């Protein structure tokens, strides 16, 4: 039996309508779909009735599950199946897609990436915040709040100006705020966006020195994104949600 193939497919930022046309075609054609926690039921409902669907979402502190996911991908592909690894956002934007692809290629399994709309750009846009603008910022930096070793992002990764988009920071907001204030100004605008692009989306705008208070007072839960910079002020002019 010839080996199958694995496609790393980006499911987009949350709203099922924001998946790409190619991503949707992959879901409908797949023999096996191994999907993450943030993938919507509406997308899974597009799969063939006879396809195998395996939940492989990881919660905070469950990175050890990655080895099991890698083995699942290898096992199903080795059976000659067309396997979809369905990930929220884009597989190569803090999605560990590159790790999975390397693992498979080293074992003789073909792997292809179908890019997705990353939440780092789509979620601010859905809240009326452009991450770049000639009126406010000529650049954007996307970071994750926590490094692979569990430590909070080092100050050297934080730019002193321009837009800063921070993913996966709710659970370390106290430490993250202190680190941000080593580089950025206390009164700099900040937006906290919870469940972006979904009907339940909530947006809170304040200043950086109150970031932790905003999260706690409003009981913000993941998934949530922080946006720091002058572009946040543009929400007042572009607020359509």
- Report whether pLDDT(114) > 90: yes
pLDDT at 17: 97
CA 74 and chain centroid, separation: 24
pLDDT at 64: 60
**Helix 97-105 vs helix 65-78: angle between axes, to the nearest 10 degrees?**
50
Strand order in the sheet with 189-194: 140-144, 163-167, 224-228, 189-194, 202-207
> pLDDT tens digits for 45-69?
999 999 999 999 866 555 568 899 9
- Active-site residue list: 36, 58, 168
- Domain 119-238 carries which CATH code? 3.30.950.10
Fold of the 5-114 domain? Cobalt-precorrin-4 Transmethylase; domain 1 (3.40.1010)
Of residues 123, 101, 126, the one with CA closest to residue 114: 101
Fold match between 5-114 and 119-238?
no
Question: With b meaning 16 or more CB within 10 Å and e meaning fewer, what string describes 146-178?
Answer: beeeeebbeeeebbeebbbbbbbbbbbbebbbe
Mean pLDDT, residues 103-120: 97
3-state secondary structure of 55: strand
| 115 token code pair | 């890019």
> pLDDT tens digits for 20-35?
999 999 999 999 999 9
Mean pLDDT, residues 97-125: 97
Radius of gyration of the chain (CA): 19
Where in the chain are the domains?
5-114, 119-238
């Amino acid at each position: 039996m010839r080996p199958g193939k694995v496609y790393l497919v980006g499911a987009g930022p949350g709203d099922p309508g924001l998946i790409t046309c190619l991503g949707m075609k992959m879901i409908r054609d797949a023999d096996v779909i191994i999907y993450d926690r943030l993938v919507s039921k509406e997308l899974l409902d597009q799969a063939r009735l006879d396809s195998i669907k395996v939940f492989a979402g990881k919660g905070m502190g469950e990175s050890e599950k990655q080895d099991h996911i890698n083995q699942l991908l290898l096992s199903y592909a080795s059976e000659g199946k067309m396997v979809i690894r369905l990930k929220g956002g884009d597989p190569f934007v803090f999605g560990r897609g590159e790790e999975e692809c390397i693992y498979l290629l080293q074992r003789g399994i073909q792997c292809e990436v179908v890019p997705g709309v990353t939440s780092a750009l789509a979620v601010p846009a859905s809240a009326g915040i452009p991450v770049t603008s000639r009126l406010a910022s000529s650049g954007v930096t996307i970071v994750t709040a926590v490094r692979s070793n569990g430590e909070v992002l080092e100050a050297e990764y934080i730019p002193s100006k321009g837009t800063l988009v921070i993913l996966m920071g709710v659970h370390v907001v106290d430490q993250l705020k202190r680190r941000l204030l080593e580089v950025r100004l206390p009164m700099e605008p900040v937006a906290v966006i919870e469940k972006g692009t979904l009907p339940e989306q909530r947006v809170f705008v304040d200043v950086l020195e109150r970031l932790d208070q905003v999260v706690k007072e409003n009981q913000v839960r993941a998934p949530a994104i922080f946006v720091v910079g002058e572009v946040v002020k543009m929400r007042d002019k572009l607020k359509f949600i």
